[in-house]
Structure 1
Amino acid sequence: MAPPSSPAAARAARYLADPRRRTMVVVAVLATIGLIVFGIYATLDGPPPQQEAVVYFAPGATEAQKDAVRAACPSVGRAIQLPKDRNQLATSRIYPLRYDVAKASTADRAALYKCVYAQPHVLGINQVTQGQ
């Protein structure tokens, strides 16, 4: 191994090569390698991220109005309308209309957004990415 060219690098090399610090240096190197390997796994072989488009309604919108939007804007291309949640959580009641847009093209998303925004009592759509 060639000696470091600058005095600061030489000092750092001596500091890290000190036998009293060898355990910590080995642990730090192994942790760094582990993080790199996990990052590569998560990017290449991990589960694909989930992308959902969540429809936001006006505060006074009734269940019938929300169901009307659900019926007026079914799945568009590969933007798939998700079934209604049956868990009775507050978030499921507030945001009852969701679409899986992970595999949807830009044209599919545009058609979906156009349909949803044309409906009364809709405030907007938020696209949420979960995972990775």
Structure 2
Amino acid sequence: MWREQILQTMAGAELDAPAGEQALAVVESTLGQPLPPQLAGLLRECNGVRGRHGLDVVWSAERIAKDNADFRSARDFTELYMPFEPLMFFGDNGGGDQFAFVRTPQRDEVFVWDHETDSRYLVSYSLDQYIERALRSTGDWYR
């Protein structure tokens, strides 16, 4: 389902091989949060999605675990930003802004974290809407 939808939206999108169940379990155990069902389903079909110019629309399971753990444990960030624990980042815009699901409380919408202002705001109501907008856009579609 995901592969077809992504390639229908953008024929040139790059899709990685599916993530194994162990990789998904590592994300959940590392972050202490369940993966959103839509994101877990996508990762089971393609462990990462790149759009125009290699933009990481959806990260691999490994990167989701690593980057989120790094953000949550960086000492400098606790003084600069609101806590990252409620978020699960899974993609970026290539310029520092990152896309996330809110995990505490669990929500299905996609939010963006603006790295310059520490703002966090809604950009789409679902993962499939996010992917369609991100892949079709040639700029900062979420602003």
TM-score, normalization by structure 2: 0.24
TM-score, normalization by structure 1: 0.25
Larger Rg: 1
Greater helix share, 1 or 2?
1
Greater strand share, 1 or 2?
2
